Amino acid sequence: MKLVYWILKIGLLPVLMLAGTGLMKTAGWWGLIISVIVFILVNGLIDRKINQYNHQYFTNKFPVLESLTYGKIITVELKNGKVFANRIFASGLSSEILIGAEPVSDNELEEFLKGIKKTRWVKLKKVKSIKIIK
């Protein structure tokens, strides 16, 4: 499905350029303006659909993502064997999560939650498992 959206996204520009050229002959510059507006709207729609697809795919793969909120301590294991233990969850996108760069202990938790200074993005396609510690 994702491939279909990307093919639509790549094919959209040449189709609208051809349509814009035809419209420019009949409607003048308005044809070009309409083509640009249609391109921006359709491109945004395709991007939203790709993000929805990514979100659905990764929440099915990692159901724990639904219950993650800011400040929870998690352990993330990557497919290459790296383990990020006792990290603070900060935020998530459709295909990435933002975690603290340094592991935390119980006595550092309050101070760390006031403002996460060092973070790192982790791509969900490289993640093997996610576990909530607290």
- The alpha-helical segments, DSSP class H, found in 62-132 are 109-114
50 in the same domain as 72: no
φ/ψ of residue 49, rounded to 5: -65, -40
Tokens of 42: 């359709």
119 in the same domain as 94: yes
pLDDT in tens, 24-48: 788 788 877 888 888 899 889 988 9
42 in the same domain as 86: no
52 in the same domain as 103: no
pLDDT in tens, 99-109: 887 777 666 65
92 in the same domain as 46: no
Which pLDDT band holds residue 118 (cuts at 50, 70, 90)? Answer: confident
Q: What is the pTM of this model?
A: 0.70
Last residue of a domain, one of 61, 89, 108: 61
36 in the same domain as 69: no
The H or E element containing residue 25 is: helix 2-27
Mean pLDDT of 57-77: 89
Full domain range(s) for residue 122: 64-132
96 in the same domain as 126: yes
Task: Give, as one character, the DSSP assignment of residue 54.
Answer: H
Q: State the pairing for strand pair 127-132/119-123.
A: unpaired
Last residue of a domain, one of 61, 76, 108: 61
91 in the same domain as 56: no
91 in the same domain as 35: no
Number of domains in the chain: 2
Last residue of a domain, one of 15, 42, 61: 61
